[in-house]
Amino acid sequence: MKRIIGYTTGVFDLFHIGHLNILKRAKSQCDELIVGITTDELCMKLKNKVPVISFDERCSIVESIRVVDRVVAQDRIDELADHELYSFDRIFKGSDWEGSPKWTALEKEFSKKGVEVIYFEYTASTSSTLVRSVLEQKTSA
């Protein structure tokens, strides 16, 4: 029986329960989970801010989680090229991307390659943005 390879990406800054939930849910739907960690440079380019936790430390944190089989650097946004590199069978994304023009097109391309796109709801109570905001309030008080 073929092993199912899953792939997801993220910044994983200020690691919290929402991150853990996504990784656990992803691993429950594949045999091997590859996680792309967004580099500091790409994060700056995309979000115009540098993560609080360095790239190397974020990689170490995510690598230490037992449901994660492999950590790779995400230094560009090109999911089709990532598929060429990692040959995944399933890609996991947040539900906020579902129905977007980009992901509607990617779903079609991935379907041709036999790749399933699976969307997960975020943990509503926690986000890195919320954690960062609380930390900024506490340090400025």
Give the catalytic positions in this structure: 47, 49
Query: 109: closest CA among 81, 73, 68?
Result: 81
- Beta strand pairing status for 32-38 and 90-94? unpaired
DSSP string, 71-110: EEEE-S--HHHHHHHH--SEEEEEGGGTT-HHHHHHHHHH
| Cβ proximity of 124 and 7 under 8 Å | no
Angle at CA 26, nearest 5°, toward 60 and 70? 35
